[in-house]
C-alpha cells in the first residue's frame, strides 16, 4: 500500500477529532519518514468490540499515512490487569481463557491492517513473548530500579484507587506495560505508542523508562474517549456491547447499530470510523444537513464499517433486510419475498420453531408470544406490550391481546415475523 503523497498523520488525527494528548516533538519525529508505532489491546474478551475499533482505526490511519502500525496483544499484561479506569480490583483471567481471547483478537486485528511487505507493513506482537522468560527478580532489579514508587503513585489510575485499595499486582501494571515500550523501542526501533486517553499514564511510564534506562527518546499520543452526544458510553446498546465477532453480534445488528446513531454522533463517527477524505466528509455532512431524513451519514458509516469488519455480502444482506423492515411498504415487501431471500434476510434475527398443526388449529396470541415462543417471559408482559401497541406480526400491528393466531398469515406458508417494539424482530418457523 503506497500512497502518492504521504499524509501528515497528526493533521489527519486532528481533523478527525482523534487527538487528545501528544508528547512534544512527536509531529516532528513523524515528519522525518516512516516510523513504527503501536497500540496495545487488552485481552479481556474473546472478541474486540466497537470501542476497540477506535484504536484499530488509529492504526489504520497511521498506516495510511505511510507509517508502520504494530498491534500488541497483551498476553502478559492481560495476566496482570490494568487498573486504569477501574474503580475496583479486577478478577484475573485464567490462562486458558486468556489464550482463547488472545487468539481471537489477533485474528480480528489481522483483518484490518495491511500485512503485505513494504515500508508500512503491519505487525502483530505479543508481550508474553518477552515476558515469559523474564524472572521476577530480574525484572525488579533491571526495570523496577529505574522508576520510583513516588513516580508510580502520582499516576491518576493509582491515585484514584488509594482510598479503596489497589493490589500490588495492579499497581505494578504500568511498569509491565512500560517495559513493553522499552523492549519494543530497543529491539524493534519502536518510536511511538498510541492509545486511548486513559492510557496516557501507562504510556508515559514507558517513555520515562526508556529515558532512564538508556537515555533514549520515545513519543506518545492518545485519542479522546468517545462519548455519545447525550454523554453516555459509546458502543453499548440495550442488548449490551456491540462486538466485532459475528457470532456475538450479527452483521445485521452491527449494521443497525451504526444506522441508529444520532445525527450529532454520526458527524463524529464518519471522521473516526471511515477513511473518507476531509473534503468528502465535509461534502457529505453538508448534504446530510440539507436533507437529514435521507440519513446519508448513517448509511455511509454503516456501509464502510460493516464491509470492513464483516464483508461486502454481509453488508448487502443487512442492507436488504433493513430496507424491507424499515421501507415504505414493508408488509407487501415481506409477502413478495421468496423463501431463500426471506431466510437470508433474516439470518441475523432470532428464530423460534413452533408447531404448524397447533397454529392451524389457532393459538391464543398471548400463548404464542410467551409460552410457545419465549419472545416474552410472561403472558402478562406480552399483554401489556400488545395493549400499548408495541407488537406487530408481519409488520402489521396487533391490538387485541385476546386474539387467536392462525396459519392464514404465514409467509411462504411457513414463517411469521414477530416484532417486539420497533427494532426487535423474531422469526417464527412453523413446522
Query: Which spans of this chain sit near RNA (rule: CB under 7 A)?
Result: 229-230, 232, 237-238, 256, 259-264, 292-293, 295, 298, 322-323, 326, 366, 370, 377-381, 383-385, 388-390, 420-424
Mapped onto helix, strand or coil, the DSSP state of residue 416 is strand
Closer residue to RNA, CB minimum distance, 133 or 164: 164
Closer residue to RNA, CB minimum distance, 9 or 258: 258
Minimum gap (Å) between residue 109 Cβ and RNA = 29
Closer residue to RNA, CB minimum distance, 322 or 335: 322
Closer residue to RNA, CB minimum distance, 86 or 423: 423
Minimum gap (Å) between residue 245 Cβ and RNA = 21
Contacts (Cβ under 8 Å, ≥6 apart) of 116? 1
Residue 241 near residue 235, CB atoms below 8 Å: yes
Minimum gap (Å) between residue 300 Cβ and RNA = 12
Please name which of 157, 231, 166, 228 lies closest in space to residue 195, comparing C-alpha atoms: 157
Minimum gap (Å) between residue 274 Cβ and RNA = 17
Minimum gap (Å) between residue 373 Cβ and RNA = 14
Handedness of CA 368, 369, 372, 377 (dihedral sign): negative
Minimum gap (Å) between residue 205 Cβ and RNA = 29
User: What gap in Å lies between CA 192 and CA 29, rounded to an integer?
Assistant: 9
User: What gap in Å lies between CA 253 and CA 295, rounded to an integer?
Assistant: 17
Closer residue to RNA, CB minimum distance, 43 or 49: 49
User: What gap in Å lies between CA 141 and CA 397, rounded to an integer?
Assistant: 71
Residue 73 near residue 110, CB atoms below 8 Å: no
Closer residue to RNA, CB minimum distance, 27 or 367: 367
Minimum gap (Å) between residue 329 Cβ and RNA = 13
User: What gap in Å lies between CA 215 and CA 136, rounded to an integer?
Assistant: 24
Half-sphere exposure (Cβ direction) of 274: Cα atoms closer than 13 Å:
23
User: What gap in Å lies between CA 277 and CA 279, rounded to an integer?
Assistant: 5
The sheet carrying 123-126 orders its strands as: 21-22, 219-223, 190-196, 36-41, 68-73, 123-126
Closer residue to RNA, CB minimum distance, 183 or 258: 258
Amino acid at each position: 500500500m503506497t500512497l502518492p503523497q504521504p499524509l501528515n498523520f497528526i493533521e489527519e488525527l486532528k481533523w478527525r477529532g482523534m487527538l487528545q494528548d501528544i508528547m512534544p516533538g512527536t509531529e516532528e519525529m513523524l515528519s522525518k519518514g516512516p516510523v513504527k508505532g503501536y497500540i496495545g489491546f487488552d485481552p479481556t474478551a474473546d472478541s474486540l468490540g466497537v470501542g476497540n475499533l477506535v484504536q484499530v482505526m488509529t492504526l489504520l490511519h497511521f498506516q495510511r499515512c505511510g507509517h508502520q502500525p504494530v498491534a500488541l496483544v497483551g498476553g502478559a499484561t492481560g495476566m496482570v490487569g490494568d487498573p486504569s479506569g477501574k474503580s475496583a480490583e479486577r478478577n484475573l483471567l485464567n490462562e486458558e481463557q486468556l489464550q482463547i481471547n488472545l487468539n481471537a483478537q489477533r485474528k480480528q486485528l489481522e483483518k484490518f491492517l495491511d500485512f503485505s511487505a513494504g515500508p508500512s507493513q503491519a505487525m502483530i506482537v505479543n508481550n508474553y513473548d518477552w515476558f515469559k522468560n523474564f524472572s521476577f527478580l530480574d525484572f525488579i532489579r533491571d526495570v523496577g530500579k529505574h522508576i520510583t514508587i513516588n513516580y508510580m503513585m502520582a499516576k491518576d489510575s493509582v491515585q484514584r484507587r488509594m482510598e479503596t485499595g489497589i493490589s500490588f499486582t495492579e499497581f505494578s501494571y504500568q511498569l509491565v506495560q512500560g517495559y513493553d515500550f522499552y523492549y519494543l523501542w530497543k529491539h524493534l526501533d519502536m518510536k511511538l505508542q498510541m492509545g486511548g486517553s486513559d492510557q496516557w499514564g501507562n504510556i508515559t511510564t514507558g517513555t520515562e523508562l526508556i529515558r532512564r534506562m538508556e537515555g533514549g527518546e520515545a513519543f506518545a499520543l492518545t485519542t479522546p474517549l468517545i462519548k455519545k452526544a447525550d454523554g453516555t458510553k459509546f458502543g453499548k446498546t440495550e442488548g449490551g456491547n456491540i462486538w466485532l465477532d459475528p457470532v456475538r453480534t450479527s452483521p445485521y445488528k452491527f449494521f443497525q447499530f451504526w444506522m441508529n446513531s444520532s445525527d450529532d454522533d454520526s458527524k463524529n463517527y464518519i471522521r473516526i470510523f471511515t477513511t473518507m477524505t476531509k473534503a468528502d466528509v465535509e461534502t457529505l455532512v453538508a448534504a446530510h444537513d440539507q436533507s437529514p431524513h435521507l440519513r446519508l451519514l448513517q448509511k455511509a458509516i454503516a456501509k464502510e464499517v460493516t464491509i470492513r469488519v464483516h464483508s461486502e455480502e454481509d453488508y448487502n444482506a443487512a442492507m436488504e433486510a433493513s430496507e424491507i423492515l424499515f421501507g415504505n411498504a414493508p408488509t407487501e415487501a415481506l409477502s413478495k419475498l421468496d423463501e431463500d431471500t426471506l431466510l437470508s434476510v433474516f439470518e441475523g434475527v432470532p428464530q423460534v420453531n413452533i408447531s404448524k398443526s397447533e397454529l392451524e388449529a389457532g393459538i391464543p396470541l398471548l400463548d404464542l408470544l410467551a409460552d410457545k415462543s419465549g419472545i416474552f417471559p410472561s403472558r402478562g408482559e406480552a399483554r401489556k406490550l400488545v395493549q400499548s401497541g408495541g407488537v406487530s406480526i408481519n409488520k402489521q400491528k396487533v391490538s387485541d391481546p385476546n386474539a387467536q393466531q392462525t396459519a392464514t398469515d404465514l409467509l411462504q406458508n411457513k414463517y411469521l415475523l414477530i416484532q417486539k417494539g420497533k427494532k426487535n424482530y423474531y422469526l417464527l418457523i412453523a413446522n
